[in-house]
Structure 1
Amino acid sequence: MPQGKHLYNQDIPYQQLPVTGEFSIFSLGSFSNDLARFPHRHDSFQILWFEKGKGKHVVDFVNYELEDNVVYLLRPGQVHQLLDDGKDGHAIVFTEDFYFSNNNDRGSIFDFTSLYDDSQVYAPINISEATVAKLEALTILMYGEVGKEGSCGKNILKHYLNALMLILERERELHLNLPERPARHFDARVLQLRKLIESNFRQEHQVKFYAEQFALTSKRLNEIVKEATGKTLSELVHDRLVLEAKRQLAYSHRSIKEICYELGFEDPAYFSRFFRNHSGFSPQDFRDEMFK
């Protein structure tokens, strides 16, 4: 349930972090900001490793009790708030451009976007005792490399980050009892598509628009998306619309009609049916549930 709702604005704010450039790492215990206690977003990818934690962390409508050695992965635009009574650990902040800075990377390093996939059920990752030492070693190496000039330092950081995320992916699969997923074919066009959806999902709901941006038929683009993600393009767009609708219903004072129009729906009744079909709630029922 959202906390601090009396301070909600029409728009969910973006929080500025004590970082510069495309990659940064800093101590969670050293960072304090009043906005952190209220719903907010960030414009970069984040890895939040709580070595010690007490309190609550709310991520997209769900309350999580902070525990020791838990990792939260947050993608740009994801809404969260940190209601902590004390914390110690590390925050790693990076951009997609940092990770995929050249075409050679796309064939040789981990496609981290699957780890941050909004369309999957969100859950933090509990870190086993054996893995803690590996993460500690990698974070120490990152702190030592940050700020060094030249392309070598950037590439070294990128590979440290890559190793850390591969370890997190393994922990995620081991400890969340996830069903075995078939291997997905990596296609750089899917990364571009995710960016395109993020920029256009409010105005463009149809597969045809996205296919035209790649000079492909709708059928061919759907085949590429299905192979890489296990979902159709329509499902990706609809997932993003529903997620944003939930965020606005839970974390803003916009009326349902305003949210409907802001998300590109012309008919509030159709928007309500769409939302119910994809969430199991009417927009008003979902909002009421969040504000209980």
Structure 2
Amino acid sequence: MDPTDLFRYYSDMDSVSQYRAAIPSWNLYGEQALFPDVLHSERIHDRAAGLDWRIDPHRHPLLHQFFLIEQGDTSLLAENQTYQPDPPCIISIPSGVVHGFDFASGTEGYVITIPMDNLTEVFSPSAVTAPAMSRLQIMPAGSDIIAACEKLHEEHRARGIVRSLHLRALATEIACLVARSIADTRQSGEARLDPRFEKLVALIDEHLQDNWQATQFADAINLSTRQLARLCVKETGTTVTHLLEAARMQEARRRLAYTRTTIANIAYELGFDDPSYFSRRFRKHFGQSPKQYRARIEIDEAIASTAD
């Protein structure tokens, strides 16, 4: 939807920002505490039955969700559009997408909620799965996807050895099956992914520390900067600048989580001349400073090790 259309649609409000502020941003269905596990899985019945089979519109700033609908009528409201998918189907909802559900009584399926920090190889802007994971996706669920979701749910309920690692592997499998299904659809002639964008994603990953600008990426793909801008908007709905910064910020999160490199050095390594500016941009993306993020990761790791 064009931003001006959004403003007109909510013309009874003082501004679009007021509308956005009115949409709840939840960690997990309203809980505001730190995410309690490597991921979360539950049956739709267990969550929705106590809410009269309705989940009001909300969004998750740092979480990706998969809804597997095995049976039952479902109405999905996502970004001001209503969908009524036919089961069995899987719905992939990126972080930040406003969504709500009306389920028919007795609907069966699973809700899988994944902190993007815990699966950066899938959700990073430079990941090969990024184009599939960055958009709302609704598609038929084959037996392979259903089996993977069921296995993940079983593993989530268990407390066996290497549980966290196994959960990450199963979540990765589900994401890859979704991405592959999308790719198969595109190869059949529907909404085929532009190979120039695939090359751009690879180049961003390759030159993450080189501080390349849009002109350098455009030259490497034999496009003008204007053509590159249109390509990014078509494939991801965002600008080149945002895509580049998002990739650097995802890498910053990875280094904050998995290395003891100082915050200042991480900023310099990723092409930021001023660590203070880096910290401000990090807070803009994730709602917390790099120092706060690193402290949160340490707490999450302690929780995960206890669960294992």
Are 1:144 and 2:154 an aligned pair? yes
Amino acid at match of 2:168: K
CA distance in 1, matches of 2:173, 2:86: 23
Deviations 1:245-275 (A, max 9, x none): xxxxxxxxxxxxxxxxxxxxxxxxxxxxxxx
Match of residue 133 from structure 2: 116
CA distance in 2, matches of 1:45, 1:192: 26
Match of residue 31 from structure 1: 47
Q: CA 1:190 to 1:233, structure 2 compared with 1: closer, same or farther past 3 Å?
A: farther
Match of residue 216 from structure 1: 212
Are 1:90 and 2:118 an aligned pair? no
Are 1:163 and 2:173 an aligned pair? yes
Match of residue 77 from structure 1: 96
| Counterpart selection for 1:49 from 32, 56, 68 | 68
Are 1:40 and 2:58 an aligned pair? yes
Match of residue 181 from structure 1: 193
SS at match of 1:124: strand
Scaled by the length of structure 2, the TM-score of the pair is 0.52
What is the RMSD of the two structures over their aligned residues, measured on CA atoms? Answer: 4.4
Amino acid at match of 1:40: H
Query: Shift of the alpha carbon at 1:144?
Result: 3.4
How many residues end up aligned between the 2 structures?
Answer: 205
Structure 1 window deviating more from structure 2 (136-145 vs 57-66): it is 136-145
Matched-pair contact (CA < 8 Å) for 1:225–1:232: no
Q: Percent identity?
A: 12
Deviations 1:148-193 (A, max 9, x none): 476x333322222222222222333445752433552454946999
CA distance in 1, matches of 2:206, 2:75: 32
Match of residue 232 from structure 1: 229
CA distance in 2, matches of 1:141, 1:240: 35
Matched-pair contact (CA < 8 Å) for 2:24–2:59: yes
SS at match of 1:135: helix
Which runs of no fewer than 5 residues in structure 1 stay unpaired?
Answer: 194-212, 242-292
Matched-pair contact (CA < 8 Å) for 2:133–2:179: no
Deviations 1:25-61 (A, max 9, x none): 1111110347954321113000111111314111112
Q: CA 1:37 to 1:93, structure 2 compared with 1: closer, same or farther past 3 Å?
A: closer
SS at match of 1:143: helix
CA distance in 2, matches of 1:162, 1:34: 32
Query: Shift of the alpha carbon at 1:22?
Result: 3.4
Amino acid at match of 1:79: V
Matched-pair contact (CA < 8 Å) for 1:22–1:97: no
Q: CA 1:55 to 1:47, structure 2 compared with 1: closer, same or farther past 3 Å?
A: closer
Matched-pair contact (CA < 8 Å) for 1:222–1:233: no
Which runs of no fewer than 5 residues in structure 2 stay unpaired?
Answer: 1-5, 14-18, 240-308
Structure 1 window deviating more from structure 2 (21-30 vs 180-189): it is 180-189
SS at match of 1:38: strand
Query: Shift of the alpha carbon at 1:88?
Result: 1.1
